[in-house]
Structure formats: structure tokens, C-alpha cells
Amino acid sequence: MFWDEAIETIKPADLKILQEKRLRETVSRCANVGFYQKKFKEAGLRPSDIQTIEDLQKLPFTRKTDLRDGYPFGFLAVPLKDIVRIHTTSGTTGKPTVVGYTAGDINTWADLIARNLTMVGLTKDDVFQNMVNYGMFTGGLGFHYGAEKAGLTAVPSGTGNTKRQIEMIHDFGVTAIHCTPSYGLHLAEAAAEMKMDLSSLRVGIFGAEPWSEKTRNELQEKLGVEAFDSYGMSELYGPGVAFECSEHNGLHIWHDSYLVEIIDPKTGENLGPGERGELVVTPLTKEAMPLLRYRTGDITMIMEDECPCGRGQKLARFTGRSDDMLVIRGINVFPSQIEHVLLSIPEVGNHYMVYVDRVNHMDEMTIDVEVSRENFHGELADLKNVQNKVIKSLRDVLELRTTVHLVEPGTLPRFEGKAKRVVDRRGDD
Ligand SMILES: [Zn+2]
């Protein structure tokens, strides 16, 4: 099912024409923003120098810190009287980033969300409970407007009061939910405790934090939904930037609204399809707050395969943040990749530590991982095959040789709050 079939399945040649037209419009809107006027001047560029997608490379990156420095309204390309709404991003330090929307932006954004909802098979017949924050966070109002546009029955339940959420799902015959994956699991457990039947549910949309295939299986099994991954960020309107189709193999990026590049986060160089790196996005339809080459800090890659659903370019599921990246013997390694491999091997537990050392000028990565309690019968030496399995699985995914130590259950550190599982002991030699 398509919301806008002509755009979603546009031919590459037509797409390029549309993208370049919108890129030129975006660049001319950016010429109203002090930050970009300065950047253009420094680079010796006039807006008219940017005509094609290839010209994008001439443009500077925009970083999150730039947006923060522009607090509150430094990045708005239109006067405040033309702004109909503002949101802010949840900054962990200092001032938040303010994002402004024109009436046109709100409409375009709702359209993108309507596309996503239609793509995952939702129609007017569905009742959609939106269990995310409706305040400054973009997830609430963003999905809400899109759901109404697509004609769904929207239930703006927001966050909190899990018991009430479960009752509403049950009483209203809710068929689709949107929440974070961790809240989805919590909901399932609470419903089981309450002995409430949630069998009206058939679709779950999960976003705002990276999640694994293992979590998908758990969500699908416990909630009885088909689980879809949703990606977005407030700086790029909010949710709705990229979304999974029913193939569940990567997220379609809305190619008419976002130009994407993948770069090496250390060097800023462009990487090709199939190479994992930092996602850089140039939104093509934003009026109030246009951005050029925005560094998202999120790690993914452009997929090479054509999707059977007929829509365009896809991004692989997100595997973490560029600030977590390690470079081991010249290979980019994300701790989330290691976690993903370990979680896929039932013989080992959830607890592990990663150590990086430099031995004779060579990077060495050592992984200590606890054997799961069910698989431990007193002797680690009996588990040589498990150790080899972990080494092989890590090599297949990371393309890197690692040293793996199995340790007894319960012996590695436990973390309260954010886990610090990676210890980089390399000096600056
Ligand atoms: Zn698809």
C-alpha cells in the first residue's frame, strides 16, 4: 500500500531532477541564515554555485554544536511570525536545540508520517495509540498529525500510567501502537500481570532508541504485533525520516525529502554503499529551518539491494552513535556490533567487557564474556566450542580477529545507569 505511489516509487532519473531542484531551493533558503552566510563566505561560495547533487561536497557540515550555538532562533530562515510551532530536542548538556516549523513544514511532515503508516499497512480502519510524550518532544505531535492525516483513529495517550494504557488498548480495540521498544516490553509484562487480553493489536511501531532483532522477536511474540523500526530526529522535523517496510530489511529513507550521505566520522570522507559510517542528511523540504549536510551522529549504511516493495533507497538498521566508535587496526568497530553478536549466541550471557590494547604497535581487542548460567556446569575448559563460536561470529561481523575469554556467570561488573563496557587502554604511542 502506498500513500504517495508516484513519489515513493519515482524513477532514479526523475528523482535526481526533483532532488536537485529542492537542493537549490534549500540552499537559497539557507542564504537567510547568518550561520550559512558566514560559512558560504569562508568557503568562497555563492548559493548559485550549488546546482547538482555532486556540488553538495562543496558545502560545509552542520553539527549539533552549531545548532546549540544558535540558540534560540539563530537557524530560522523565516521571520518568527511565519513560524507556527516550535519543538526542542532533548539535549543532555547545556541548552536544547530549538526547531521551528512553518505551516508548510507541519503539512509536509504529516504527509511523511502518513506515508510511513500506510507503508506498514495501516488504514482508516485502524485505531492508533500514540504512547510517547506530547510535549516538546517531536514523537507525540509528529505521529499524531500524520495519523490523523492518514485517517486513522488517533488515541493521544502520551506516556505514563501503564495500567490505563493497557485498559485503553483493550477497551478501544487498539490495533496499532507507537512507543519506545523498552516501553513496549514493559507494556507486555504489565499486561500479562494484569491478565489483560491485547489481541486487538497487530502493528507496533518502535523508535527513539536503537534496538536489536532479538528485541524485535520479543516484542512480536509478547505483544502479538508485527514490529516496525522508525527513525528520525527533531532537527530533521522529527520521526518519519526513514521507516521499515514489511520486508523488515532496512529502513526506506524518504528520498524526495532527505538527501543522505555516509561519512567516516573520523575523517569526514564519503563512504560508499555497504560501508558503515555516520549518517549525514540534507533535508530538502524544510522551510523554517533548512540545514545543509547535518551530521546526525547516528551509525548506519546505505544498502545496495533493491527492495521488493518498489520503494527507493534504504538505510540499514542503526547500530549506535559515532561518538562510541573505535578504530581497531584501521577498521571501524562499534560496540553495539559486538553486543549484537554476543546477544545472538544463547550460550553466553548479557554481560561482557571489551578491552582495547596496543601490543607491539598493534591494536588488540579482548572480549571477556560471561557464560550463561544454563550452560555453565563448573568447568570453563569444557566450553572450548562456545569460545570458538564467539570468535568466529565476531570475525564474520567485524572482519577482525579478537581474543575471547569466557568467564563464569556473575563475575563481570554490573552497571547502574549507562554501562561502561569498553575500556580503551591504548596510549598515544
Ligand atoms: Zn521496502
CA angle 127, 187, 201 (to 5 degrees): 30
State yes or no: pLDDT of 182 exceeds 90: no
- How far does residue 312's CA lie from ligand 1's centre (Å)? 8
Q: Which amino acid is at 2?
A: F
Tell me, in angstroms, the distance from the centre of ligand 1 to residue 226's CA: 15
pLDDT tens-digit series, residues 354-395 = 999 988 888 899 999 999 988 898 889 889 999 999 999 999
Query: Residue for cell digits 561488573?
Result: 413
Q: Regarding predicted confidence, which is higher, 143 or 180?
A: 143
Query: Per-residue pLDDT tens for 71-110?
Result: 999 999 999 999 999 999 865 556 789 999 999 999 999 9
Please provide the DSSP assignment of 15-51 as one string.
HHHHHHHHHHHHHHHHTTSHHHHHHHHHHT--GGG--
Q: Is 225 helix (H, G, I), strand (E, B) or coil?
A: coil
Ligand 1 center to 345 CA (angstroms): 28
Q: For a pLDDT cut of 70, what percent of the chain falls above it?
A: 97
Please tell me the distance between residue 319's alpha carbon and the centre of ligand 1 in angstroms.
20
Angle between helices 162-172 and 181-194 (to 10 degrees): 80
| CA 306 / ligand 1 centre spacing (Å) | 8
307 Cβ contact list (under 8 Å, min separation 6): 245, 247, 249, 250, 252, 314
Cα 341 to averaged position of ligand 1 atoms, centre (Å): 25
Kindly give the distance from the C-alpha atom of residue 297 to the centroid of ligand 1, in angstroms, as a whole number. 24
Residues flanking ion ligand 1, Cβ below 5 Å: 245, 247, 307, 309, 311
Listed as own residue / partner, the contacts of 6-11 with beta carbons closer than 8 Å and 24 or more positions apart are 7/256, 8/115, 8/119, 8/252, 8/310, 8/311, 8/312, 9/310, 9/311, 9/312, 10/255, 10/256, 10/312
HEC-encoded secondary structure of 296-311: EEEEECECCCCCCCCC
Ligand 1 centroid to Cα of residue 200, in Å, is: 25
How far apart are alpha carbons 42 and 352 in whole angstroms? 47
Separation of CA 120 and ligand 1 centre (Å): 10
Contacts of 83 (CB under 8 A, 6+ apart): 76, 100, 101, 102, 288
Q: What is the mean pLDDT of residues 116-141?
A: 96
pLDDT tens for residues 130-169?
Answer: 999 999 999 999 999 999 999 999 999 999 899 999 999 9
pLDDT band at residue 283 using 50, 70 and 90 as cut-offs: very high
Lowest-confidence segment of 207-211, 235-239, 287-291 by average pLDDT = 207-211
pLDDT at residue 90, rounded to an integer: 62
60-74, 100-114, 325-339, 356-370: which range is least confident on average?
325-339
Q: How far apart are CA 284 and CA 259, in angstroms?
A: 7
Q: Using one digit for the tens of pLDDT, what is the confidence trace for 301-316?
A: 999 989 999 999 999 9
Whether 335 has a pLDDT exceeding 60, the answer reads yes
Cell of 414: 554490573
* pLDDT > 70? residue 171: yes
Q: Which residue has the cell 527533531?
A: 234
Alpha carbon 379 to its chain centroid, in Å, reads 41
In the structure grid, which three cell numbers stand for residue 21, read together?
531542484
Residue 24, number of CB atoms within 10 A of its CB: 17
pLDDT in the model for residue 429: 45
End-to-end Cα separation, the chain, in angstroms: 57
Q: How far, rounded to the nearest angstrom, does the alpha carbon of residue 120 sit from its chain's CA centroid?
A: 17
Helices (H), 150-242: 162-172, 181-194, 213-223
Answer yes or no: is pLDDT of 245 > 90: yes
**Fold adopted by 326-424:** GMP Synthetase; Chain A, domain 3 (3.30.300)
Rounded Cα gap, residues 87 and 109, in angstroms: 13
pLDDT at 340: 84
Length in residues, the chain: 429
- Report the separation in Å between the CA atom of 362 and the middle of ligand 1, taken as the mean of its atom positions: 42
Cell 529551518 belongs to 289
CA 163 – CA 146 distance, rounded (Å): 26
Question: Where are the CATH 3.30.300.30 domain residues in the chain?
Answer: 326-424
Residue 308: alpha-carbon gap to chain centroid: 22
Q: Taking residues 9-32, what's their average pLDDT?
A: 97
Looking at every residue in the chain, the average pLDDT score rounds to 93
> 8: CA distance to ligand 1 center in Å?
10
Which helix or strand (DSSP H or E) is residue 340 part of? helix 335-343
Between CA 198 and CA 175 the distance in angstroms is 9
Average pLDDT over residues 257-264: 97
CA 274/CA 277 separation, integer angstroms = 10
Distance 311 CA to ligand 1 centre (A): 6
Confidence check: pLDDT of 323 > 60: yes
CA of 294 to the centre of ligand 1 (A): 25
What is residue 163's DSSP assignment? H
Distance 367 CA to ligand 1 centre (A): 36
Centroid of ligand 1 to alpha carbon of 2 (angstroms):
11
In the numeric block, the cell 532519473 is attached to 13
C-alpha 293 to ligand 1 mean position (Å): 25
Residues 200-209 have pLDDT tens digits of: 999 999 988 7
Q: Give the Å distance between the CA of 146 and the centre of ligand 1.
A: 20
Determine the distance separating the centroid of ligand 1 and the alpha carbon of 393, expressed in angstroms: 28
CATH code 3.40.50.12780 region(s) in the chain: 1-319
Identify the CATH class of 1-319: alpha beta
**pLDDT at residue 181 in the model:** 87
pTM value is: 0.83
